[in-house]
Amino acid sequence: MDGVTIRPMCREDLDEVDRIERTNFSTPWRMEDFAGYLTEKNAVFLTAEENGEVAGYIGAILTDYEGDITNVSVRPDRMHRGIGTALVSEILTRIDARGVGRMFLEVRRSNVNAIRLYSEAGFAEAGVRKHYYRLPDEDAIVMMRERAGSGSDRSPEEER
Task: Reduce the DSSP state of residue 87 to 3 states and report it.
Answer: helix
Q: What is the pLDDT of residue 156?
A: 47
Which strands make up the sheet holding 102-108, listed edge to edge? 4-8, 43-50, 53-62, 66-74, 102-108, 138-146, 124-133
DSSP state of 101: -
Q: What is the pLDDT of residue 118?
A: 97
Asked if 156 and 66 count as a contact pair (C-beta separation under 8 A), the reply is: yes
Q: What is the pLDDT of residue 160?
A: 43
Domains of the chain: 4-159 (3.40.630.30)
- In the chain, alpha helices (H): 14-24, 31-37, 83-97, 112-120, 156-159
pLDDT, tens only, 108-132: 999 999 999 999 999 999 999 999 9
> Roughly what angle, to the nearest 10 degrees, separates helices 112-120 and 83-97?
40
Low-confidence ranges of the chain (pLDDT < 70): 1, 150-160
Pairing of strands 66-74, 102-108: parallel
- Between CA 51 and CA 3 the distance in angstroms is 7
Q: What is the pLDDT of residue 105?
A: 98
Q: What is the pLDDT of residue 159?
A: 46
Q: What is the pLDDT of residue 147?
A: 85
Task: Reduce the DSSP state of residue 83 to 3 states and report it.
Answer: helix
- Hey, how many other C-beta atoms are within 10 angstroms of the C-beta on 35? 15
Phi, psi at 52, each rounded to 5° = 75, 5
